Structure 1
């Protein structure tokens, strides 16, 4: 499966620009996993770290769910892999598969897109218990862009260690 990644526009309104950059970074994470087996995706970076490409996909499913569904939408639901709020649980990929990780991630991305589209504006706010303050949808989108960008850097190194693929 080949991932399509569309670069963000150079000129656009604020909301369109945020959407485009977030989708660009989402596609980048998927691109870093193209053509790899479950075993490759479970390969850890270096002991004692448990970081793997599959763990990053699972982690980002948790992040999408936490910020868009639990915070902005106020849904009273557990995280995908941990109801304790421990994102590190997502990194335990000993028996994880591409199919289950990407199904969960794509589901959460679609929920996030729907929640963002239905929001009246980027100024919509909700209480983030972890931060003990209200946050805006704008801040959540910027935070997710930051989170993806940081982890896509990790994905670059992980992919290069697996098969030498660099760039993109």
Structure 2
């Protein structure tokens, strides 16, 4: 039986006059949903298919990349957890994007869901202003608010890529 990425509902939105944390959590959740909706109904082979030549970018590559990005910013960079690489290596620094041909799309999809849940759990209850040391930050500090905003920005960029890839695959547009 051929695996296909499941459909995913957008879900309810939070109060547009709610608190900052509630809004950031909701915007991040919604960006994740938009990426998953671009994958919904596609087979593993379709998820591995580049469609916007000359780019080799694929929906599976984007999903793997965002798994790495969330893991890096929330758990490694912000919380200083030491975690093994998922898709990247010295030999393949862009392995998340480049090594999809032989990848297990179903396992990578499940890994995305597990990692985003782990990231949510890891930062739950941490104040947005809580800063950690970061030698690369201009002030030497990084707060959780910045991480949230950066991830929302990263998803916005890549869901735009996903829009083009999906439209070229089967004509689907919209979120």
Same fold (TM over 0.5): yes
Contact 1:66/1:79, CA 8 A, preserved across alignment: no
Work out the number of aligned pairs and report it. Answer: 167
Alignment of 1:20-31 (within 5 A): 20-31=26-37
Q: How does 1:1-168 map to 2 (within 5 A)?
A: 1-6=6-11, 7-84=13-90, 88-92=94-98, 93-119=100-126, 121-128=127-134, 131=137, 133-168=140-175
Distance 1:89 1:128, change over 3 A: farther
1:139–1:51 Cα change, 3 Å:
same
| 1:77-115: CA deviation from partner (whole Å, max 9, x where unpaired) | 13211144x762101211113212112211210111012
- Distance change (3 Å), C-alpha of 1:130 and 1:108: farther
In structure 1, how many angstroms separate the alpha carbons of the residues matched to 2:147 and 2:104?
Answer: 28
Please state how far the C-alpha of 1:124 moved relative to its aligned partner: 1.4
Deviation by residue 1:54-98 (Cα, 9 ceiling, x = unmatched): 0000000000100011012111113211144x7621012111132
1:76 aligned counterpart, secondary structure: coil
How far residue 17 of structure 1 moved from its aligned partner, in angstroms, is 0.4
Structure 2 gaps, min length 5 = 1-5
- TM norm structure 1: 0.90
**TM-score (structure 2 length as normaliser):** 0.87
**Segment of structure 1 superposing worse, 1-10 or 64-73:** 1-10
